[in-house]
Amino acid sequence: MEGLGVRYLFLIARRILFKRKTSALTASMAVAATIFLITFNGVVLSGVINAVERDLATLQYGNLEILNEGEGYLDRPDYQVVATVMRHPLVEAASPRITALASEVSHASPKGTWKVYNVMVIGVNPALEAKTSKVFQSIIAGRAELFKGDALVGRDLARDLGLEGAKGLLKIKVRSPLGENSKYVRVSGIMLSSAAGGLNHILVVHIDLLRELLGWKHKYATSIVVKLSQPERAGEVAAWIESQYPDYQVKTPREAAKAWFNAIVEGVSFINLVGYAGMIASALAVITVLTMMVSGKTRDIGVLRALGVSRRGIILLFIFDGMLIGLIGAGLGGLISSIVTLWLENYPVAFFGNLVLDVKFNPLSLLLPMLVGFAISVAASIYPAWKASTYQPAEAMRYF
């Protein structure tokens, strides 16, 4: 009998709720909107994290970066280190780099002379770099080539130097322990990347040219960037490289750009917290709708009490209404969130300065917001349910 009674209470709750379809839909949409907001924030921000890691890997650090933090440079010939690293079956490519700071980069033209100080300069091996990173794919003007007397210029740096297109002559000054050296280079291309890619403010030159500016006699490099066929196994490859070169450090993009990722993760946590706090608004909508139902159904409550329905039964009836609102809201929120996430996954959009989101649809990511939305809807129904249960049959019957 108890099971039968609960079943009939559920049917009555459904009838009461759907007699006020507009109110029920309003409360359900409030729950759905909050679920969508939380999910959308999570999708976009996880897409940002994935995109930052992708751009750091493909443009700045590779899937792994080999360093010698103690010396400041790799004290073995770069071709030797590259050859050793390439022995690992998961390594697709490896390329040496030299990173230095140019004290001054200048460009003279008929319109005047432009100077930029403290410019990051990266020396690369063009043949190996093309296999390891997407630096050459980031060129938006000029030639995707780099000879010894050429330079690739970041878009923002090109503007600061007054360059008009991928042409012009630059003078690079570099200080070293041996003094200050300078060389002229031709602009062969303009690069554009996201902020995470880090190419917009730098100068890329041939590695041999930068060695000459620094006065290096040996084929040393400051780092080796490594491309892997299976980036998810970077830890395994890093351990193997460190076993070959115990005095070197091997870092993933997340480790190399730790400050970036810490800031992003903290931002994601804060925004998610704000989203969950927004659940309070949907809870208020549920409370308002159910309270209005209680006020409008006083006569029906009196009839039910007169027919022998207990206070517990009345409470259960309106909690069922809260459950129905939560189920509808969670279903709508999950459906809308899934559609938007799949759209962003298949049609990536750019945010935050040319950063193309890397969104991956994960149905499990919808589970927590949907459960929280449902739980809050049920919890919000407790007060209206309690209020309805306080009516005595004689008092409620006066509303006939």
Tell me how far apart the alpha carbons of residues 316 and 375 are, in angstroms, rounded to a whole number.
15
CA distances from 136 to 143, 360, 397 (A): 9, 27, 81
Tell me how far apart the alpha carbons of residues 193 and 140 are, in angstroms, rounded to a whole number.
10
Of the candidates 377, 280, 328, 334, the one whose C-alpha atom is nearest the C-alpha of residue 43 is: 334
Residue 308 zone, left/alpha/beta (φ > 0; ψ -120 to 50; rest): left
pLDDT score of 196: 65
Tell me how far apart the alpha carbons of residues 330 and 234 are, in angstroms, rounded to a whole number.
38
The structure's pTM equals 0.72
* Share of residues in the chain with pLDDT > 70 (%): 90
pLDDT score of 344: 87
- If pLDDT is split at 50, 70 and 90, which confidence band does 51 have? confident
Q: What angle do CA 367, 373, 378 make, to 5 degrees?
A: 125
313 has pLDDT over 70: yes
Tell me how far apart the alpha carbons of residues 254 and 75 are, in angstroms, rounded to a whole number.
25
| Tokens 């800031």, residue located | 263
| DSSP codes, 50-119 | HHHHHHIIIIIIBSEEEE-TTTSSBSS-HHHHHHHHTTSTTEEEEEEEEEEEEEEEEEEETTEEEEEEEE
* Share of residues in the chain with pLDDT > 90 (%): 42
309 has pLDDT over 80: no
Of the candidates 300, 276, 341, 98, the one whose C-alpha atom is nearest the C-alpha of residue 203 is: 98
Stretch 11-35: mean pLDDT? 77
Q: Regarding beta strands 179-191 and 150-154, do their DSSP bridges make them parallel or antiparallel, or are they unpaired? A: parallel
Question: Which has the minimum average pLDDT: 4-18, 77-91, 120-134?
Answer: 4-18
- If pLDDT is split at 50, 70 and 90, which confidence band does 391 have? low
Stretch 312-316: mean pLDDT? 83
37 has pLDDT over 70: yes
Task: Specify the higher pLDDT residue, 173 or 361.
Answer: 173
